A and B are shown apart, each in its own frame.
Chain A
Amino acid sequence: MLCVTNLKKYFNSLVVFDGFSLTVPRGSFTALVGPSGCGKSTFFDVLTGIVPKDGGDITWRGDAVPHLRGKAAYMQQKDLLLPWLSLIENALLPATIAGMTPYARAKARALFTRLGLSGFEEYIPGRVSGGMRQRCALVRTLMFEHELVLLDEPLSALDAITRRSLQSLLLLLQIEFGKTIVMITHDVEEALLLADEVLVLSRFPMSVRERYVPGTPKPRRGDDPELLRTKEQLFYGMEQEVVREAI
């Protein structure tokens, strides 16, 4: 279980979060939804130790840790593939850095097949589509061998069709590979389709404004009436907050 308790982060006079707490059960999929600038990405930066925290505790599987570096895989909005390496070499980067084993290459090839990238192993990123690049980034994330996966708007740069197909791959991460996932997204529908728990955040400072647990089992359908109703309800709440701030 991932436990974040009373986490604090300030940038001079700006209070990004002051006492933010979160609990993520092992094997679950948690989505964080919130308006731009509410501190979602800073939260991940603090979790991964890229930005130091100003207070609070992080606990992973019962152990208090300063940050989750080396304990969590992190996938960002941009695929961050190295253009001079082939797709398979990009996917193998975590293994290359850790000291590659023949097992890693076999695992990467198996994942390429599983994620529909078979036959494109030796292509360079500049020669394939955005969706394929993102799938390759997903393989690289899986190569980390970490149970905890942090996803920072991993699909936001993609078109609607590619996005839909990759959403099912994100579910695969949880169900087939047993990952514990925390995902940041702007897309309320995406959160409701994929997550076991959706946390709607407000800003200045960042806090959980609303917590929602979808009742329907996964995989969920985008045209499910309950999902559509909840989407409207959550979106309306977010919209109202932005309007209140503007006034």
Chain B
Amino acid sequence: MKRYNIIAAVMVVCILVFWETACRIFNIPDFILPVPSRIIQVAIRSAPILLPHAAVTALEIVLGIILALLIAVPLATFMFMHRSLERALSPFLVASQAIPVFALAPLLVIWLGYGIASKVLMAAIIIFFPITVSLLEGYKNCGHDYITLFVLMGSDFRKTWRLLYWPWALPFFFAGLKVGVAVATIGAVIGEWVGAQRGLGYIMIQANARLAVDMVFAAILWLSAMGLGMWAGIGYLERRVIDWQK
């Protein structure tokens, strides 16, 4: 086991022990703050109920990532190709992030319905920004001497993009994708809070209404596990794709 894994494991254990002990010493009721052992128990026992909902949330996030990529990659590329487009679009990009997702959620549910589409769009709105900004920075970071070399080789933009700009920007792209994936759950869950019949956000709202705080925490636990899994997946993909950086 690697050193950083041991440190992370020790930290988690310390927090859980402190939490469990404090709850028991101060006799905090379960409907306010359940002990971690109970949360884990509920998360495992309720897995048959929670997992289908987790699958829906995961699907929303994955589709959100795909949609965000479909928007972010061409957008960043066009903004890089045409600097005037970058200057023109930058305020809109920033504005898209300045509007609270909570404000957009009810509108998207009204426009796209209670189904999966509104949640996918919500996740995509959150994810596309870090990917676009990172990818654009990656393109701009490309070494001037390399660009000169490609100009001298008579390369057009399409070939230069494929052979130079895109591989050069990949580490930046993955950095943006990781940030996007880390916050993607926010979009999907908020969408489910506003209006849904499935998903971990829906479970959390239902459990909250019944003061089943342990179930809320169990849903959060599954959500965190899902987020970590996706983060690890992107990390694995990054190591496979950018293996020359080792």
* Chain A contact residues, majority secondary structure: loop
Residue of B145, B167, B244 touching A76 (CB-CB under 8 A)? B145
Q: CB-CB contacts of B153-167 with A at 8 A, as 1s and 0s?
A: 111000100011001
Say yes or no for A80: interface residue by CB 8 A criterion: yes
Say yes or no for B148: interface residue by CB 8 A criterion: yes
Residues of B within 8 A of A50 (CB): 148, 151-152
Residues of A within 8 A of B155 (CB): 97
Say yes or no for B149: interface residue by CB 8 A criterion: yes
CB distance from A72 to the nearest CB of B (A): 8
CB distance from A117 to the nearest CB of B (A): 18
* CB-based contact A96/B244 at 8 Å: no
CB distance from A145 to the nearest CB of B (A): 11
Say yes or no for A175: interface residue by CB 8 A criterion: no
Residue of B nearest to A96 (CB): B163
* CB-based contact A97/B153 at 8 Å: yes
* CB-based contact B244/A83 at 8 Å: yes
Say yes or no for A26: interface residue by CB 8 A criterion: no
Say yes or no for B31: interface residue by CB 8 A criterion: no
Give Cα A93–Cα B153 distance, bound, in whole angstroms: 8
Residue of A69, A83, A93 touching B163 (CB-CB under 8 A)? A93
Say yes or no for B146: interface residue by CB 8 A criterion: yes
Say yes or no for A214: interface residue by CB 8 A criterion: no
Q: CB-CB contacts of A48-84 with B at 8 A, as 1s and 0s?
A: 1010000000000000000001100010101010111
CB distance from A97 to the nearest CB of B (A): 5
Residue of A nearest to B143 (CB): A80
Residues of B within 8 A of A161 (CB): none
Residues of B within 8 A of A82 (CB): 146, 163-164, 167
CB distance from B157 to the nearest CB of A (A): 12
Residue of B nearest to A78 (CB): B145
Say yes or no for A126: interface residue by CB 8 A criterion: yes
Say yes or no for A169: interface residue by CB 8 A criterion: no
CB distance from B173 to the nearest CB of A (A): 13
Give Cα A60–Cα B152 distance, bound, in whole angstroms: 17
Residues of B within 8 A of A83 (CB): 244-245
Total interface residues on A, using CB and 8 Å?
19
Give Cα A83–Cα B145 distance, bound, in whole angstroms: 14
Say yes or no for A94: interface residue by CB 8 A criterion: yes
Q: CB-CB contacts of B21-49 with A at 8 A, as 1s and 0s?
A: 00000000000000000000000000000
Residues of B within 8 A of A98 (CB): 153-154
Give Cα A70–Cα B246 distance, bound, in whole angstroms: 35
Say yes or no for A124: interface residue by CB 8 A criterion: yes
Residues of A within 8 A of B246 (CB): 126
CB distance from B141 to the nearest CB of A (A): 14
Give Cα A84–Cα B242 distance, bound, in whole angstroms: 8
Residues of A within 8 A of B153 (CB): 93-94, 97-98, 144
Which residue of A74, A97, A144 has the most chain B CB atoms within 10 A of its CB atom?
A97
- Docked complex: A117-173 residues within 8 A CB-CB of B: 124, 126, 144
CB distance from B44 to the nearest CB of A (A): 44
Give Cα A50–Cα B244 distance, bound, in whole angstroms: 30
* CB-based contact B152/A69 at 8 Å: yes
Residues of B within 8 A of A69 (CB): 151-152, 154
Residues of A within 8 A of B154 (CB): 69-70, 97-98
CB distance from B176 to the nearest CB of A (A): 19
Residues of A within 8 A of B242 (CB): 84
Give Cα A94–Cα B150 distance, bound, in whole angstroms: 9
CB distance from B26 to the nearest CB of A (A): 56
Question: Given A50-B151, A83-B244, A97–B159 Cβ distance below 8 Å?
Answer: yes
Question: Given A76-B145, A78-B145, A126-B244, A84–B167 Cβ distance below 8 Å?
Answer: yes
- Top-10 shortest CB links A-B: A84-B244, A97-B155, A84-B167, A97-B153, A83-B244, A80-B149, A124-B244, A94-B153, A74-B152, A97-B159
Give me 20 other A-B pairs in contact (C-beta within 8 A), A76-B149, A83-B245, A96-B163 excluded: A48-B152, A50-B148, A50-B152, A69-B152, A69-B154, A74-B149, A76-B145, A80-B145, A80-B149, A82-B146, A93-B153, A93-B163, A94-B153, A97-B150, A97-B153, A97-B163, A98-B153, A98-B154, A124-B244, A126-B246
**B interface with A by C-beta (< 8 Å):** 143, 145-146, 148-155, 159, 163-164, 167, 242, 244-246
10 contacts between A and B (CB under 8 A): A69-B154, A76-B149, A82-B164, A83-B245, A84-B242, A84-B244, A93-B163, A97-B154, A97-B155, A144-B153
